[in-house]
Copies of this chain bind each other. A is one copy, B any other.
Amino acid sequence: MSNKNGVEWSIRVGDGSSMVLETEHTHGVTRLWDRLKGLVVRFVMRVWMFLKKAWDLGVDDPRKFFHCLKVGVALMVVSLFYYMRPLYDGVGVSAIWAVMTVVVVFEYTVGGTLYKCLNRICATFLAGFLALGIHWIASHTGHQFEPYIMGISLFILASATTFSRFIPVVKARYDYGCTIFILTYSLVSVSGYRVDHLLHMAHERLSTIIIGTCLCIITSMVVFPVWAGLELHLLVPRNMDKLAKSLDCCVDDYFGHGDEETKKSLQSYKCVLNSKASEESMANFARWEPAHGRFNFRHPWKKYLKIGASSRSCVYCIETLTSCLASKNQVPESIKNHLESACMNLSSSSSNVIRELATTVSTMTRPVKINIAVKDMKNAVRELQNDLKSLSDLLIQPNDHEEKNEPKDITIMPLLDVIPLVSFASLLETASRIEENMVKEVEELAESAQFKQPEDEVKLKKIVSDEENAIALQRV
């Protein structure tokens, strides 16, 4: 097409010398070639960028690489059942179920794998027995009713189970089990009508599923395990630290102490805004995990969600604070200087409280210094309120002292200029109020998880750093 256009063009411009046509022709080809080359180069670049991003993802957290290798190894091992004749003769054709189980059940975290394994086993058992029972009843009512009974029971059970998946509690804990229940029931009931050695089949299927799930559970728990509980335990204080940093940076930036670095770390709170979904799924998986590290089987994972929620409501406040940054230059310097120290004090004592809470959660020691930190914060709030009170004197001072020399309208500092700063300061107060809530929630966690007394603090810090090192080692 581009070639033809080239020819038409040359006729319009020149007046039909074959030389011109020839060059235009070559031009057309060259252009086509260039365009093709461009397309290919762009495509290759795109693929390259995609691969680079994917690689960075893995380098950032090499446990993802390990996970992939684990899945590969588990699949290889389960394939052995097929590749080796003696095993094959023992387990039969349904060894394929073992392969399927591994593919479908293997998740990134131990909790995720356990959730799927237990759901799969229980649902298969339940549905299998139910199907066998109904099949037995149906077969005793006479041959002509059998398909009707099986079909209607399938319809009722499938509809009811599908509906139960809309219920939030069921969705969170047994969603996968519901699918497997319907699947197994329909498979058994449908094959039951054809296959005569039903019990044999059921036995085979169950045993292969158990082989598959055991393999998955062992691989995920023994080889570089990723515990959902530990992930949640590390995520929540990490988010709190980010929060504290953003709070500091925000106030620094407002009073002009920030550089480029500050502006960058100011944004670190953004990822806390969207952490709800991942926190919830981790807490859901963590409940399936056995005792590991410093966590018991019934560790109060739900309390972490509460702390996460109040971190988020603090983050909403910071989001509003950052929107105040736009108007920071409207405020006269003299007023800024008047409130600066109180604001800085409040923000540093607030972020200190958050950091103290984060340490409490991550070291699992009962909070001790927290009372002092909260007292500091309350003092800072009072200081800020006093400064705000004296601010009204400052505003009217000129009016007071230089009454005789100047007209009144000019000397009164306009209140409007002060408003952005005042609302900034009162937002800081709000943030500190939210934190008091956070303190309560961390104390509740400490209570129900029976955090240790701080005399073992040094020892505990060692444990924490060991834990972090272990993860860091995996990451290297």
Q: A-side interface residues toward B, CB under 8 Å?
A: 50, 53-54, 57-58, 64-65, 67-69, 71-73, 75-76, 79, 82-83, 88, 96, 99-100, 103-104, 147, 151, 154-156, 158-160, 162-164, 166-167, 179, 182-183, 186-187, 189-191, 193-194, 274, 276-277, 313, 316-317, 319-320, 323-324, 385, 388-389, 391-392, 395-396, 399-400, 408, 412, 414-416, 419-420, 422-423, 425-427, 430, 433-434
CB distance from A277 to the nearest CB of B (A): 5
B residues within 8 A CB of A191? 82, 96
CA distance A99 to B99 in the complex (A): 19
**Between-chain CB contacts (< 8 Å), 14 pairs:** A54-B163, A57-B167, A71-B158, A72-B156, A72-B162, A79-B186, A83-B151, A83-B190, A88-B194, A103-B179, A104-B179, A392-B395, A392-B414, A423-B426
B187 contacts A99, CB within 8 Å?
yes
Query: How near does chain B come to A124, taking the closest CB pair, in angstroms?
Result: 13
Which chain B residues border A72 with CB–CB below 8 Å?
Answer: 154-156, 158-159, 162
Give the residues in chain B near A276, CB-CB below 8 Å.
Answer: 274, 277
Contact indicator A183/B58 (Cβ below 8 Å)? no
Q: Which B residues are in CB contact (< 8 Å) with A162? A: 67-68, 71-72
B104 close to A164 (CB less than 8 A): no
**A-B complex: 7 closest residue pairs judged by Cβ atoms:** A392-B415, A423-B423, A423-B426, A72-B159, A316-B316, A68-B159, A72-B155
Is the CB–CB distance between A155 and B316 below 8 Å? no
Q: Write out the residue numbers on chain B whose beta carbons fall within 8 Å of the beta carbon of A68.
A: 158-160, 162-163
Q: Is A391 in contact with B408, judged by CB distance below 8 angstroms?
A: no
Contact call A388/B408, Cβ cutoff below 8 A: no
Are B323 and A103 in touch, CB under 8 angstroms? no
> Are B151 and A323 neighbours in the complex by a CB distance under 8 Å?
no
